[in-house]
């Protein structure tokens, strides 16, 4: 396990060395190369956020929305039938 960590750190150092070399050799490509390197190294965070974090956020928002609709129906602002049809109320 520790060797994988050292390998990942060595790969990161190699990529940064290449980025520095590119910055000296072709200044016009430095920004695009840095952006590509950042995207390549951070894509697992996006997969994690999209697959795990975002569904949790969506569920919480939907529960809060349903609670607000329930409160409005109980207060008499909406009829139950209208809330079910128009707002997709589950109550």
Q: Sorting pLDDT into bands at 50, 70 and 90, what band is 90?
A: very high
pLDDT at 63: 97
Amino acid 69: pLDDT:
97
The CA distances from residue 25 to 19, 22, 31, 66, in Å, are 10, 5, 13, 58
Per residue in 34-77, pLDDT (tens digit) is 888 888 888 888 888 888 999 999 999 999 999 999 999 999 99
pLDDT number for residue 21: 86
Q: How confident is the model at residue 86 (pLDDT cuts 50, 70, 90)?
A: very high
pLDDT(24) > 90 = no
Helix (H) or strand (E) holding 86: helix 80-87
What value does the mean pLDDT of the chain take?
A: 90
């Amino acid at each position: 396990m520790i060797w994988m960590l050292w390998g990942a750190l060595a790969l990161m150092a190699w990529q940064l060395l290449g980025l520095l070399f590119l910055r000296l050799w072709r200044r016009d490509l430095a920004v695009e190369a840095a952006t590509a390197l950042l995207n390549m190294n951070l894509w697992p965070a996006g997969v994690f956020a999209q697959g795990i974090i975002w569904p949790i956020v969506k569920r919480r928002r939907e529960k809060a929305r349903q609670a607000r609709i329930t409160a409005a129906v109980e207060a008499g602002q909406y009829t139950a039938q209208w809330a079910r049809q128009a707002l997709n109320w589950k109550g």
